[in-house]
Structure 1
C-alpha cells in the first residue's frame, strides 16, 4: 500500500490502536504489512471504510452530539 500514504498512515494508526501489544498481534505494523497478516488486512479494511465516511464535507455529516444536547 506504499502508493497511498494517507491510507497507509490511517491503517497504521488503526493497527496500533487495536493491537497495541504482542499478545494481540504477534508482529509490528511493518512486518504485518510485509506478510499480509489478518491483523494488517483488517486494519486496511477499517481505514478504507473510515475514508469513505471522512471524505464528505463536515457540513453534510450528521452530528451525533446535537441529539444529546
Structure 2
C-alpha cells in the first residue's frame, strides 16, 4: 500500500468491512492501511448473492478450461 499510495490506482475487493481489518493484521498496521485505502477513495458497495458460492452449492464448482 505504501509504495502505491498516491502514485497509482488500486482496486480492492473484500467481504470484510474496513473496521474488521484489525482481525487480519495488527491494529496499527490495519489503521494505516485503511487510512490510505479510504483517503481520496471511491467506495462502491454491492449487495446480492455470490455467484461463485451459488455455483459451488449447485455442484458446478470449478469448470475445466476449454
Which is higher, the Rg of structure 1 or of structure 2?
Answer: 2
Same-fold call, TM > 0.5? no
* TM-score of the two chains, using structure 1 as the length reference: 0.26
* TM-score of the two chains, using structure 2 as the length reference: 0.26
